[in-house]
């Protein structure tokens, strides 16, 4: 008889699932790549330690990235993506922008976390982020080293996946939010792995305020070849008001004459780097 469990960790060899508060090491009957942290899955429990994942239950959302060679699931059933940035080392604005597009595509919220607010360099990062706030994406400034309290209300009731380039302070932030849970999870996965060293890909933690936090490994690239070209522009909130106004109904918003998006950049109404990203994503899809 199968029971419903939650995938709370994925690593090189398999998964850790939580079934009514008990943790099991789990392998997948089907391809491992079909499952992600956050998934609700039907499992067969084999013994005190092991379970087999039989199938995944329908997801409310799915975040994934893809390049020319493969697709990789990042997290499932999340309601929010928190993009951790810092002024030092410098962050890639394009990566931020890609994360926001991915959030739109997955129909989940996005939250920009500007960490290391204690550093004077932060002043230079604010004007880069400000236009994204104008688009409607909330931003919170904090210093993970001193106080993460401002983040709590934004995590309550949400399943939030934390992403960021390495060096932005994501580990410091997650540690500050979950000092005990993190150590406990490490113990559990070490015990389940019987001491073998495996790379952890992502881990889900329950927060004391009812939210959930998924810590996903540093993100340096975020390919999105899975996006559909014909609905790409709609993933940029600033373009919604212009949709349908290009001369050609199948405009790729590139070199076409009378493109409403190109015109919006020329008039200074939208950011050139966002249109560049739209074109880049379109050409990456190569369809």
Binding stretches for ligand GDP (CB under 6 A): 115-116, 118-119, 143-145, 164, 166-172, 218
- With CB cut-offs between 5 and 8 Å by kind, which of ligand GDP, Zn ion, none does residue 251 bind? Zn ion
# of chain residues touching Zn ion (CB under 5 A)? 5
Kindly state the smallest distance separating residue 117's Cβ from ligand GDP, in Å.
7
- With CB cut-offs between 5 and 8 Å by kind, which of ligand GDP, Zn ion, none does residue 274 bind? none
Distance separating alpha carbons of residues 177 and 156, to the nearest angstrom: 12
Binding mask 253-282 for Zn ion (x = CB under 5 A): x-----x-x---------------------
- With CB cut-offs between 5 and 8 Å by kind, which of Zn ion, ligand GDP, none does residue 279 bind? none
Distance separating alpha carbons of residues 190 and 196, to the nearest angstrom: 7
Kindly state the smallest distance separating residue 221's Cβ from ligand GDP, in Å.
15
Q: Is 251 in the site for Zn ion (CB under 5 A)?
A: yes
User: Of 38 and 164, which has the nearer Cβ to ligand GDP?
Assistant: 164
> How many other CB atoms are there within 10 angstroms of residue 50's CB atom?
15
- With CB cut-offs between 5 and 8 Å by kind, which of ligand GDP, Zn ion, none does residue 230 bind? none
User: Of 77 and 115, which has the nearer Cβ to ligand GDP?
Assistant: 115
Which two three-digit tokens encode residue 188? Answer: 């559990």
Distance separating alpha carbons of residues 250 and 199, to the nearest angstrom: 44
* φ, ψ (nearest 5 deg) of residue 71: -110, 145
Kindly state the smallest distance separating residue 160's Cβ from ligand GDP, in Å.
16
Kindly state the smallest distance separating residue 31's Cβ from Zn ion, in Å.
39
Distance separating alpha carbons of residues 54 and 247, to the nearest angstrom: 50
Residues 51-58: contacts with CB under 8 Å, at least 24 apart: 51/5, 51/17, 51/19, 51/24, 51/25, 51/26, 52/26, 52/27, 52/28, 53/5, 53/7, 53/15, 53/17, 53/26, 53/27, 53/28, 53/29, 54/2, 54/29, 55/29, 55/30, 57/4
Kindly state the smallest distance separating residue 137's Cβ from ligand GDP, in Å.
20
Residues 80 and 158 sit within 8 Å (Cβ to Cβ): yes
Q: Is 76 helix (H, G, I), strand (E, B) or coil?
A: strand
Q: Is 79 helix (H, G, I), strand (E, B) or coil?
A: coil
Selected from 246, 275, 277, 278, the binder of Zn ion by CB under 5 A is 246
User: Of 122 and 189, which has the nearer Cβ to ligand GDP?
Assistant: 122
* Positions 89 through 148 that interact with Zn ion (CB under 5 A): none
- With CB cut-offs between 5 and 8 Å by kind, which of Zn ion, ligand GDP, none does residue 145 bind? ligand GDP
Q: Strands 80-86 and 159-163, how do they pair?
A: parallel
User: Of 143 and 189, which has the nearer Cβ to ligand GDP?
Assistant: 143
- What radius of gyration do the chain's Cα atoms show? 20
User: Of 98 and 116, which has the nearer Cβ to ligand GDP?
Assistant: 116
- With CB cut-offs between 5 and 8 Å by kind, which of Zn ion, ligand GDP, none does residue 167 bind? ligand GDP
The DSSP code sequence of 21-55 is TEEEEEEESS-GGG--TT-EEEEEE-SSSEEEEEE
By CB under 5 A, name the binding residues for Zn ion.
246, 251, 253, 259, 261
């Amino acid at each position: 008889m199968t029971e419903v469990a939650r995938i709370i960790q994925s690593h090189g060899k398999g998964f850790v699932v939580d079934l009514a508060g008990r943790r099991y090491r789990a392998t997948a009957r089907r391809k491992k790549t079909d499952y992600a942290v956050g998934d609700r899955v039907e499992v067969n429990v084999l013994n005190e330690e092991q379970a087999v994942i039989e199938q995944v239950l329908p997801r409310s959302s799915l975040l994934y990235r893809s390049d020319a060679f493969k697709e990789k699931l990042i997290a499932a059933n999340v309601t929010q993506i928190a993009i951790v940035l810092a002024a030092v080392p410098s962050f890639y604005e394009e990566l931020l922008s890609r994360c926001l597009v991915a959030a739109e595509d997955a129909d989940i919220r996005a939250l920009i976390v500007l960490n290391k607010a204690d550093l004077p360099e932060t002043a230079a990062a604010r004007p880069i982020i400000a236009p994204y706030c104008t688009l409607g994406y909330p931003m919170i400034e904090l210093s993970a080293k001193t106080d993460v309290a401002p983040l709590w209300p934004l995590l309550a009731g949400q399943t939030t996946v934390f992403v960021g380039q390495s060096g932005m302070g994501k580990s410091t932030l997650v540690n500050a939010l979950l000092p005990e849970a993190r150590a406990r999870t490490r113990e559990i996965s070490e015990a389940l792995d019987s001491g073998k060293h495996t790379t952890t890909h992502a881990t889900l933690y329950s927060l004391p305020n009812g939210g959930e936090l998924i810590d996903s490994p540093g993100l340096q690239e975020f390919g999105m070849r899975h996006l559909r070209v014909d609905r790409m522009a709609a993933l940029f909130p600033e373009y919604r008001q212009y949709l349908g106004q290009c001369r050609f109904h199948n405009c790729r918003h590139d070199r076409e004459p009378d493109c409403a998006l190109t015109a919006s950049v020329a008039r200074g109404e939208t950011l050139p780097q966002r249109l560049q990203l739209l074109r880049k994503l379109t050409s990456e899809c190569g369809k």
